[in-house]
Structure 1
Amino acid sequence: MQDDRRSGGPQGVGPYGSQFKVAIPRLPARRAPPPTTPKSRQRDRVQRACRNCHKRKIKCSGGLPRCNYCEKTDKACVYERPRRDRLATAKDRNQALVSVLRDLSLRVSDDDKRRIEDVLQDTNAAKSDEEAESPASMSSSSRASAAQQFQQHSRSHPFASSSSHVPFAPETLPTSDQSPLPRLDGIVAEESCDEDGTGARNCDVVEAGYLGQISEVQWLQSLRSRVQAVEAVFVGPADVSTSLSHPASPAFAASPISVPASPVPHVALTNYYLDDDGIKLADCGNPFELPPEHTAGLLFHCFSTTVHTSFPLLPPTLESQLRQYYDLVRHGQAIHCPEKWFALVNLVFAIGAKFSHLVQANWRADELDHVVYLSRAFQLLSMNDTIVVLSTPDLSTTQAAGLFAVYYMTLGHVNRAWVMVGIAMRSAFSLGLHIQDGNYSIPALKQQSMVRTWWSLHALESLLSSITGRPNIIPNEDITTPLPSAIPEIEVPGVTATADSRFLDADANLNLLTQQVISGLYTQRRSPPSWDYIQQTIVSLVGELDKWAVDYIPQFHQETWSLTHEQQREIFLLRLQYYRLKILTTRPSLRRIERCYEAGTDDYNSLDQSVADACIQAAQDVASLLTAELNLTALYEKGPWWSIVHNIMQSLAVLMNAISCSATFSDPSKNSVAAVHQLANWLRRMRETNSLAARAYQVVYSIVKTSDPSVWVDIADAFPDEMAMVVQQPASTPFDPKYLPWPGKEQSSDALFRYELDDFGNYHFHML
């Protein structure tokens, strides 16, 4: 066997020899499947299911006139049209309705025509997807959409005017402490403007800006919505010769540098501020031109004895520099003054000129001389140039921005005043005025000016925040600037009126307390606090306010006839601010009782009642404090004439809300009625020279005359009937481009000097 294998080995081939190889044929290539035809993908499916099948998510046969399912169930078979077809139908019908309204606007009164135009503007601005509806309801809803908008607009806006507005809010009835009631006591904003919750997105933008629940405008709006009995009544003063009927100034209308207000199609009948007037600037020519020395002295005196004692924004040496300037002009010597110095002087003159017209001073100039002074300051500061935004702020620019805010407050432009004081505060931050500077190398006089500038701006911002309901720019704990009394007061020769340090300390502490009231009671939070917490906050703040009064007004309940005029004025201002802040602090409790009165419930306790009574008493005290003055001129000279209308309207809003809830506040109603008569009398007297007071009186007059007469039986005689007219914005009188800034016996304001610009950017003046 071995031999056989051994002999056979050489002749054969190993296991991998050629006779063992097997040829493997190639696999046939797989062919791709043939492409599927559309018929292969088609299923037994119709293009559009009927409404019943679509609703039940079942297969629809697509039969006509009825599918299989509708045939079996004996239901109406309706096939929805494509959205594109439905949208086209809606657009066609909308255009038809618009054409009908435009045709009707040619044959109706001016008021109805204005309302139709407002409705058409709203229709054009509406989104098309909000108009798309189902075919079943398309025919009825499309035909009624424009008519419903017109009726809703007529009910909500019966007065055609161009004033600012705030959103209308429906009232929510309180039921328990878990109800929406605590949220409506001045803590958060009112509900949306309509019932379906979408009104918050559809409310018009307020021309004067956001006005929170701290504003008396909101208080009057809630009062008006509660007591209004008629839909549209035209009201207004009977004497059309007053300032309310003056036509717009043609010179300003054609001025290329006028800044018009944004058009507002709707109005809020309770917003009496004049931000919708727009900014009027005049072509002032030579911006370095100043009035004669006598007129300049009178204007500066008006400012320094009223505004400067409350807001000491001016450098201490400005008055002496102004006197020196006129001495040099009188002797024909060369003068060197920077642009910002001229800007500050013109702003002072603008505010002083506005005061001279309020008190009807016999030396007052043209009615719009304050506009010319403002225009000069505007030009000197290059306010219309981008460089003013990019430039590094300094103390003079900060003070000028603060004076702009004061000027706009005197006009009733609270929104512009708030913006300008915000700019001034930002500039003050960049200068470090809000912190205590340890740099002892700063001269004492400049350090005094910096400290007083900061607290003046802080006082302005606190006042405007409490008027508008907007938050403060800086919390109290971040302010380390010492109080004015901590800086030694330096007397400057030639200064006639200075602010008392103790008065400024009292004002600064009260403004810090004002910020606590705004933050604790009127600032919206993500999680609204409970009403028990709000009550505790109110009690705590009232205690701090009363302690402030004891510390800073020792003669609070005493006669002040033995004091000097300056001391009497300071006590008058502090008492008025005390009552004003007392109203703001206690107002939420009064609002809660108002909501309970509307709902017919008694969801309030004795603490709410006592706090609300304190609010009403504070409003009555304001009326008593103002009545002690002999005449309107004395009130303007002694009181805060830049915000006196706000004080009156705030008290009126509280008293009228209390009178409207007569069953709840029956005891103090007699005193409230007397106070309303006194405050309304002040507004009637002011409106002859004060456009803000004129519109404020119109607001209150319209509430009384359009409400249920039984509500205002006791105060109806405080608002005598006058000729009906639309509530409108007071317009300016015609303006002569040839400016006469002083009484008629003096010459017109031709330039007394020429000026040159040197290599360092300084102006040098020479007598002509």
Structure 2
Amino acid sequence: VSSNSADIGEALVSASVGSNDDLDFAQEDLLRVNEAESAGFMGRNSQAQWLRALESKVEQTEGEPSFADYRLPGASTEAFNRRAEALHGRQQKSGHTQAHANSATDYYFYLDKTNIDIEIGDPNVVPSASTARSLFGYYKHAVHSPFKLVDDEFEQQLQVYLNEKDGRVTANVCPKWKAVMNLVFAIGARYSYLVDAEWRADDRDHLVYMWRAIHLLQLQNLRALVSHPEQRLIQAIGLLALYYLTIGHVSRAWFMIGMAIRHAQAAGLHLRYENPSIPNNRRNSLAELWWALNSVECVLTAILGRPRAISANDCTVPPPGTVRTETESRSREATTGNVSTTASVYSHVSGSSTGEKSAAHNLDNFAAAYVRLDILMDKILAGLYSPRKSVRSWKGAQSMMTSLSEELETWALQSLPQGASAAAAATVDHSLDRERLLLYLYYYNAKICITRPCVCKMDERIKEQSEESSRFNQKTAQACIGAALDIAALLPDVPNRSWYYANGPWWCATHMIMQALTPLLIELSLDCVHLTIDKSHVTSCVEKLIAWLHSMKTVDAVSESAYNVVTKVLSRQRSEDAAKKQMPYPEHSQALGRQEYGPLPQQPGSQQSYQITSHPHPLQHMQPAWPGPDELNNMPYFPRPDAGRFYPNNAPSSDYLTGSNTGMHEFGQPQMSLFYANPFTATMDQWDWDSMAVEDAGHGPGRGMHQYQGQSFGGGPSQ
């Protein structure tokens, strides 16, 4: 955005004039809020904040005051004070002073306040070998791409361990390794239940595996949390964070991923290894672990709007796929050979018949594309939603949105050879593979985050802005709504939750739906001022997304909670206003005492009928190829190949299980000496169980475990 005059309106107001307003102020004393009632801090990019903004719009039928005061940009104390005064003035004019404003917690639909404590008995109990192989198969299919938190060596060790169990041989197993195993089982069990697999775990089996891992890690003991870094500990905490994400405990997940990243940084995983004594496959597995942690944190940051523990300036480790070596190629071929071992477990879920070599190639390229998008997403959240970004002017924010949009489209040209219409058509006949569906969804998700600040009545907020600025605001808001409609178009008209969990971002499935739903609802509340098309299409897409939440809530409590929050917000509007703006309006069900929506009108072909987004270059000229493996080497994200130091134990995997002096306590990275004193010497819980692994009695395929163990849910060990 350019202008010959420095005195135009967009240069004289703070960037907080957009819909992500008041980034630099906290208006709740969260430390004085009852723990059971607070969800903690949520940034402006969180959907809880978007839903709160939506409710204020549906309640303010007269609209917001025109040309409210947003004051000048600036980083000085005086500038901050003036923006605070302007905030108080806007609140008084709108009648929403902080004393009467709802907390963002009221719109928080995640489940951190849900009690998941259970009694598990002996944490050393393990399932039968057949059950374990099934759970690991689900885990590998659902998590390795894009979160490869456990390496190929762990899989080899697990196979040795299970083979020895079949032979009734007792293995010397380190508690941390067994904790990793249980968390893998927990995530696999959760996934198998969501996709309604032919063989699946019970709906609460994952809790049992999770609590076994927590006790094996001794996380009740503060000393365990601040111990020296170990690879298995980093993997275990990272897996626990991912597990919490999959069950909707995102605040707990955010805490745990921060802890895993701190341990990883203490081990130097954020740096590029150049010690010749470290094998290439070892370097690659450590790099994959680091980027998996990075990706999990990226998802959580987008959900909660909280700061990240990772700074881009501190990282030099290359993303997966950027360094191709003969050793790495052999490692990938070995991994590909193992695919067939577990493929039979989940073949009915994926429905894919792609060859092994092609699958391995696609996974390599997908990992590179996904990490590049993660890096860009970090720039988006830091550039538009971090607190100090309100010190720049709205004109500066427009320039940032332009730059980020150009970067996103450059990524799309390299990673998405098909346009939105082709992708939606492929979704209808299920010909779009899982990896490409994920990339499309996350592409639209990133576009929504870039353009979301313009989805408000900017012409009524900025005095004397230039025509160029007004056009930019209008087109950017249209791009946001178009991206949300594109997400809706990627989903089949008839909800199929098993398909979505099997092929989509099952770890944050509700988040992706809400990411599209909230801007569409806000646009409807604004009477579709940014669109020139019939608003009935927007309404039908909103109803379609709500229908998906309704379908998913039968197996996922997060979806049910989100559905209820949306229902609550929409019920605050007057029926005549809803009819005028074509907003969905909940119907009261006297039989159930709940609010439900009317049936979704069937509109065949509607999901491809409207595409507002456009690429900077004709789609037919795109090269139908993934980005090359070495393209990321030139990215400015990695300033130099700083050498780290690592000393792996090169003993064969089987030796860890059978050696008299090694056992499993040496898996991966050896323990590093503590670099600070630790005054904590007593544990909070002592587990005196026999270390010999005991098989779950009677836990056969298709049946859950808790029915055999008589678990009492609610009142077990605290986390």
TM-score (norm 1): 0.63
Task: Note closer, same or farther for the CA distance 1:704–1:750 as it changes in structure 2 (3 Å cut).
Answer: closer
Alignment of 1:682 with 2:548, yes or no, is: yes
CA contact (8 A) 2:205 2:705 kept: no
Q: Structure 1 residue 347 and structure 2 residue 183: aligned?
A: yes
1:653 Cα shift? 0.7
Alpha-carbon distance, 1:309 to partner: 1.3
Give the C-alpha shift of residue 469 in structure 1: 1.4
Q: Give the Cα–Cα distance (whole angstroms) in 2 for the partners of residues 635 and 377 of structure 1.
A: 29
Q: Is the 8 A contact 1:320 1:494 kept in 2?
A: no
SS at match of 1:189: coil
- Give the direction of change, closer, same or farther, for the CA distance of 1:274–1:535 in structure 2 (3 Å limit): same
Note closer, same or farther for the CA distance 1:371–1:321 as it changes in structure 2 (3 Å cut): same
CA deviation map 1:49-81 (0-9, x unaligned): xxxxxxxxxxxxxxxxxxxxxxxxxxxxxxxxx
Return the letter of the residue paired with 2:44.
Answer: Q
Q: Which residue of 2 aligns with 1:154?
A: none
- Match runs of 1:700-739 below 5 Å: 700-713=566-579, 719-723=586-590
Counterparts of 2:33 and 2:427, CA distance in 1: 54
- Deviation per CA, 1:646-695: give whole Å up to 9, x if none: 11112111000001111513524233112101101100001111100001
Specify every segment of 5 or more residues in structure 1 that has no aligned partner in the other structure, as ranges.
1-174, 231-264, 728-737, 752-768
Out of 266, 280, 283, which is 1:444 matched to? 280
The equivalent residue for 2:653 is none
Maintained 8 Å contact 2:459/2:470: no
Name which of 686, 689, 698 aligns with 2:564: 698
For 2:317, the equivalent position in structure 1 comes to: 481
Does residue 272 in structure 1 map to residue 132 in structure 2? no
Please state how far the C-alpha of 1:630 moved relative to its aligned partner. Answer: 6.8
Aligned counterpart for 1:667 among listed residues 532, 535, 538: 532
2:34 and 2:180 mapped to 1: Cα distance?
37
Residues 393-472 of structure 1 mapped to structure 2, 5 A cutoff? 393-472=229-308
> Is the contact made by 2:23 and 2:389 (CA closer than 8 Å) also made in structure 1?
no
Q: Does 1:579 align with 2:444?
A: yes
Quick one: structure 1 residues 533 and 287, their matched pair in 2 at CA, closer, same or farther if it must change by over 3 Å? same
Distance change (3 Å), C-alpha of 1:602 and 1:677? farther
Alignment partner of 1:326 is 2:157: no
What residue in structure 2 maps to residue 209 of structure 1?
40
**How many angstroms apart in 2 are the aligned matches of 1:433 and 1:679?**
40
Q: Paired residue for 1:308?
A: 144
Task: Determine if the alignment matches structure 1 residue 186 to structure 2 residue 20.
Answer: yes
Q: Does 2:71 match 1:219?
A: no
Question: Quick one: which of 626, 635, 640 aligns to 2:500?
Answer: 635
Check if 1:653 corresponds to 2:518.
Answer: yes
Structure 2 CA distance for aligned equivalents of residues 695 and 363 of structure 1: 27
Offset at residue 321 of structure 1 (A): 2.6
Q: 2:378 maps to what in 1?
A: 515
* 1:494 aligned residue: 338
Q: Distance in 1 between matches of 2:10 and 2:703?
A: 71
User: For the Cα contact (< 8 Å) 2:48–2:108, is it kept in 1?
Assistant: yes
Shift of 1:386: 2.5
- CA-CA distance at 1:609 after TM superposition: 0.3
Instruction: Identify if the C-alpha distance between structure 1 residues 740 and 596 changes in structure 2 by more than 3 Å, giving closer, same or farther.
Output: farther
Alignment check: 8 A CA contact 1:484 1:505 kept: yes
Structure 1 or 2, whichever has the larger Rg, is: 1
Separation in 2, partners of 1:502, 1:448: 15
Counterpart amino acid of 1:222? Answer: A
**Normalized against structure 2, the TM-score is what?**
0.67
CA displacement 1:615-638 (0-9 Å, x = unmatched): 000000000112278721111100
- Cα separation, 2, equivalents of 1:226 and 1:397: 47
Give the 3 Å change call, closer, same or farther, for CA 221–564 of structure 1 in structure 2.
Answer: closer
Spell out, residue by residue over 1:201-258, the C-alpha distance to the aligned partner (whole angstroms, 9 max, x if none): 988887222111111111110110221379xxxxxxxxxxxxxxxxxxxxxxxxxxxx
The 3 A distance-change label for structure 1 pair 306 and 672 is same
What is the alpha-carbon distance in structure 1 between the residues aligned to residue 445 and residue 233 of structure 2? 31
Partner residue, 2:355: none
Output aligned runs, 1:80-159, within 5 Å: none
Q: Does the CA-based 8 Å contact 1:228-1:707 persist in structure 2?
A: yes
**Alignment check: 8 A CA contact 1:365 1:741 kept:** no
C-alpha distance in structure 1 between counterparts of 2:179 and 2:476, whole Å: 47
CA distance in 1, matches of 2:162, 2:124: 13
Corresponding letter in the other structure for 2:505 = P
2:214 corresponds to 1:375: no
TM superposition shift of 1:642: 1.0
- Using the TM superposition, give the Cα deviation of residue 179 of structure 1 relative to its aligned residue in structure 2, in angstroms: 5.5
Alignment of 1:549-564 (within 5 A): 549-557=412-420, 558=422
SS state of the match for residue 402, structure 1? Answer: helix
Are residues 740 and 382 of structure 1, via their aligned partners in 2, closer, same or farther at CA, if it must alter by over 3 Å?
farther
Give the SS at the match of 1:721: strand
Structure 1 residues 191 and 297: alpha-carbon distance in aligned structure 2, compared to 1, 3 A threshold: same
- Structure 1 residue 750, shift from structure 2 partner: 8.7
Name the CA shift for 1:398/1:531 in 2 (closer, same or farther; >3 Å): same
Cα distance, 1:368 vs structure 2: 1.6
Distance across 1 between alignment mates of 2:706 and 2:470: 67
The alignment partner of 1:607 has SS state of helix
Residue by residue, what CA displacement relative to the aligned partner does 1:459-515 show, whole Å, maximum 9, x if unpaired? 111111122112222322321111211252412453447782211111111111111
Once the two structures are superposed, what CA deviation does each residue of 1:698-750 show, in whole Å capped at 9, x if it has no partner? 111111112122343275667443357689xxxxxxxxxx9975457799899
Q: 1:521 to 1:395 in 2, by over 3 A?
A: same
Corresponding position of 1:570 = 435
CA contact (8 A) 2:571 2:585 kept: no
Give the structure 2 partner of residue 607 of structure 1. 472
RMSD: 3.6
2:223 matches 1:387 = yes
1:525 maps to a residue whose letter is: R
Superposed CA deviations along residues 310-365 of structure 1, whole A, max 9, x for unmatched, are 10001212233323222212222232322222111100111111122222335434
SS of the equivalent of 1:439 reads coil
Question: Which residue of 105, 116, 132 maps to 1:296?
Answer: 132
The Cα of 1:286 is off from its aligned counterpart by 2.4
Secondary structure in 2 matching 1:683: helix
Q: State the distance in 2 between where 1:562 and 1:615 align.
A: 21
Find the aligned partners of 2:156 and 2:495 in 1 and give their Cα distance.
Answer: 34
Matched-pair contact (CA < 8 Å) for 1:346–1:374 = yes
Contact kept in structure 2, 1:328 and 1:334, CA below 8 Å: yes
8 Å CA contact 2:123–2:215 kept in 1: the answer is yes
In the alignment, the residues of structure 2 paired with residue 582 and residue 289 of structure 1 have an alpha-carbon distance, to the nearest angstrom, of 46
Residues 421 and 725 of structure 1: CA distance in aligned 2, closer, same or farther (over 3 Å): farther
Residue type matched to 2:338 in 1? G
Residues 199, 566 of structure 1: CA spacing in aligned structure 2 closer, same or farther, 3 A cutoff? same
CA distance in 1, matches of 2:574, 2:490: 31
State the secondary structure of the residue aligned to 1:627: coil
Q: Is the 8 A contact 1:187 1:521 kept in 2?
A: no
Tell me if the contact between 1:619 and 1:655 (Cα under 8 Å) persists in the aligned partners: yes
Unaligned 5+ segments in structure 2 are: 1-8, 62-101, 344-359, 596-695, 710-719
The structure showing larger relative contact order (alpha-carbon pairs under 8 Å, at least 6 residues apart) is: 2
Provide the C-alpha distance between the structure 2 equivalents of 1:293 and 1:214, rounded to a whole number of angstroms.
44
